[in-house]
Each structure stands twice: as structure tokens, then as C-alpha cells.
């Protein structure tokens, strides 16, 4: 289980997270919901070490892992799909995936499997990442994390700015990963989608959890209230 325990996070003197406790169990999908600036990305960044955390602020199977760099978290099976994708623009799709694989773990996800299950990726594998549409780039960004064979996949706004068709494609790929048993943490602006894709949700406001529960039984009015802070 991956857990944050009373986690605080700072950007210089500015405090972005206040004693945030959150967990995701193996095989579970958890959505983080909240308005812009609530602290969702900061939570993911604190888990992978790009924002500083105290060692016992992040626990993996009960062991303190907070503050370790992203590379080390990846070795442990925690992978981030960052907001904005951040692919290497001058490399081809295949090269982007090959580079990621070198840092990853062995497991069921290989470049060959991705190409087989998503023939569209095979078709553009030799194109530079920048030559792709936003939706195609997002598929590659998600694939880049998958070929590292993580146990926990942290997804930051993977549907942002994409067409409805592209959003569905991205969620289809994520669905395959989930059916393979991956645990997923989903930061998603579309609340309806976030709830329909997840088992549980946390609503975050100004760096604190203000509501949490089962996504299936979520009271949408209550979630909207928590989201807007009213
Ligand atoms: P969004 O959907 O806009 O990404 P979010 O819920 O992910 O929202 P965060 O990006 O985690 O929110 O931001 C939480 C708070 O931290 C905000 O007040 C934001 O302005 C601040 N913040 C985020 N990144 C930085 C940074 N690099 N330097 C300073 N402050 C930051």
C-alpha cells in the first residue's frame, strides 16, 4: 500500500499541503479531485520526490520512502505521468519508450505488447514525439510509464486539452493497465469521469482533504460543494 501520512509540502515559504493523509491499495484506483491550485499535483510530486517530503511522510508498505528521488521511487514501482507529458521532443516515440524502459523494471508491459494492443502506436512509432497530436502524445506518455512496469501509477491530468475521442483512447489504455492489477492515482479535472473511473476519491481543497469516500456512492452535490469550497 502507498500512503502519505500527515504530509506537509512547501514551495519555499509557501505551504501547499497541510497534514495530508491519503492511501491507495494495490489494484485500486483512487481519484484526486479539487479546483486549480488545491494541491493535487503537489501531492503526486511529493510522492515521487520532486517536491521535498519528510521520510515518514510517504510510506510504501509501511516503510518510509519520502524525500527519495524520482529514480528511486521508480525502482520501487511508483511512476508518475506528469502534467504536460514532457516527452523528449527530438526523439521518436520508440526511442522515448526505449529510454524509459532502461530505467524501469521487468514485467508484463513491453514496447511490443503496447504496439500490438494499440496498433495506432505502432503506426507512429518512428515519428518524433512533437509530430504527434496531443492525444497521441498522451498515449506515449502513459506508455512510457507503463513500460517501467510500476505497481503504482500516478496520473496527472492525462485528459487535459484532449478531444473526447482521444480522452477515451487514453482511458482505454489506462483500463488495460488497471485490469492487469496496477494501482492508479488519478488527478482529473472532469469530476464525473474521475468518479466513474475510480474506486475511491479524495476531494482536496487548499492542501487539505475535505471529503473522501467511495466513488460509486459519491453524493455529487456534496462533492461539488467540497470542490468549490462552499
Ligand atoms: P492544478 O490543477 O492547477 O495543477 P493542483 O491542485 O494540482 O492544481 P498544485 O499545482 O499542486 O495544485 O498547486 C498547489 C499550490 O502550490 C498552488 O497554490 C500553487 O500556486 C502552488 N505551487 C505549485 N507549484 C509551485 C511552484 N513550483 N512554486 C511555487 N508555488 C507553487
- Measured N-to-C along each axis, helices 93-103 and 134-146 cross at an angle, to the nearest 10 degrees, of 20
**Which atom number of ligand 1 is nearest to the Cα of residue 43?**
11
Q: Is the CB of 84 under 6 A from ligand 1?
A: no
Q: Candidates 13, 39, 53, 158: which one to mutate for ligand 1, based on the most atoms within 8 Å of Cβ?
A: 39
Whether 125 has a pLDDT exceeding 70, the answer reads: yes
Whether 225 has a pLDDT exceeding 90, the answer reads: no
From residue 228, give the alpha-carbon distance in Å to each of 32, 48, 99, 222. Answer: 14, 28, 41, 10
Structural domains in the chain, CATH included, are 2-227 (3.40.50.300)
**Which atom number of ligand 1 is nearest to the Cα of residue 12?**
29
Mean of pLDDT over the chain: 92
Residues 12-56: tens digit of each pLDDT: 999 999 999 999 999 999 999 999 999 999 999 999 999 998 999
Average pLDDT of the segment spanning 190-212: 95
- Supply the Cα-derived Rg of the chain in whole angstroms: 17
Q: Check residue 89 and give its pLDDT.
A: 81
Residues 171-196: tens digit of each pLDDT: 999 999 999 899 999 999 899 999 99
How far is C-alpha 48 from the geometric centre of its chain's CA atoms? Answer: 11
Residues 3-23: tens digit of each pLDDT: 999 999 999 999 999 999 999
Whether 223 has a pLDDT exceeding 90, the answer reads: no
Confidence of residue 216 (pLDDT cuts 50, 70, 90): very high
Whether 226 has a pLDDT exceeding 90, the answer reads: no
Whether 150 has a pLDDT exceeding 90, the answer reads: yes
Residue 27 C-alpha cell reads as 489494484
**Residues written for the chain:** 230
Please report the ipTM that was assigned to this predicted complex.
Answer: 0.94
Q: What percent of the chain has pLDDT over 90?
A: 70
Q: Is the CB of 42 under 6 A from ligand 1?
A: yes
Q: Check residue 230 and give its pLDDT.
A: 64
Q: Which of 29-38, 82-91, 139-148 has the lowest mean pLDDT?
A: 82-91
Residues 56-79: tens digit of each pLDDT: 999 999 999 999 999 999 999 999
Whether 84 has a pLDDT exceeding 80, the answer reads: no
HEC readout, the chain: CEEEEEEEEEECCEEEEEEEEEEECCCCEEEEECCCCCCHHHHHHHHHCCCCCCHHHEEECCEECCCCCHHHHHHCCEEEECCCCCCCCCCEHHHHHHHHHHHCCCCCCCHHHHHHHCHHHHHCCCCEHHHCCHHHHHHHHHHHHHCCCCCEEEEECCCCCCCHHHHHHHHHHHHHHHHCCCEEEEECCCHHHHHHCCCEEEEEECCEEEEEEECCCCCHHHHHHHHHCC
Q: Check residue 221 and give its pLDDT.
A: 85
- Angle (CA) 21 23 29, round 5°: 140
Query: How remote is the CA of residue 23 from the centroid of ligand 1, in Å?
Result: 21
Q: Check residue 220 and give its pLDDT.
A: 85
Amino acid at each position: 500500500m502507498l500512503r502519505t501520512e500527515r504530509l506537509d509540502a512547501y514551495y519555499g515559504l509557501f505551504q501547499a499541503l497541510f497534514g495530508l493523509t491519503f492511501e491507495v491499495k494495490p489494484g485500486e484506483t483512487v481519484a484526486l479531485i479539487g479546483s486549480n491550485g488545491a494541491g493535487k499535483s503537489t501531492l503526486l510530486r511529493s510522492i515521487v520526490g520532486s517536491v521535498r517530503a519528510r521520510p515518514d511522510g510517504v510510506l510504501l508498505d509501511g516503510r518510509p520512502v519520502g524525500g527519495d528521488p524520482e529514480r528511486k521511487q521508480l525502482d520501487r514501482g511508483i511512476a508518475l505521468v506528469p502534467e504536460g507529458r514532457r516527452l523528449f521532443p527530438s526523439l521518436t516515440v520508440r526511442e522515448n519508450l526505449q529510454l524509459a524502459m532502461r530505467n524501469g523494471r521487468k514485467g508484463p508491459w513491453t514496447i511490443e505488447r503496447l504496439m500490438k494492443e494499440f496498433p495506432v502506436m505502432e503506426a507512429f512509432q518512428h515519428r518524433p514525439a512533437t509530430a504527434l497530436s496531443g492525444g497521441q502524445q498522451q498515449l506515449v506518455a502513459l506508455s512510457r510509464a507503463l513500460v517501467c512496469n510500476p505497481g503504482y501509477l500516478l496520473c496527472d491530468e492525462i485528459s487535459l486539452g484532449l478531444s473526447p475521442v482521444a480522452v477515451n483512447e487514453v482511458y482505454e489504455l489506462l483500463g488495460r493497465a488497471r485490469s492487469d492489477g496496477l494501482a492508479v492515482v488519478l488527478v482529473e479535472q472532469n469530476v464525473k469521469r474521475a468518479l466513474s473511473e475510480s474506486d475511491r476519491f479524495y476531494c482536496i481543497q487548499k492542501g487539505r482533504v475535505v471529503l473522501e469516500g467511495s466513488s460509486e456512492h459519491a453524493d455529487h452535490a456534496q462533492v461539488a460543494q467540497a470542490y468549490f469550497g462552499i
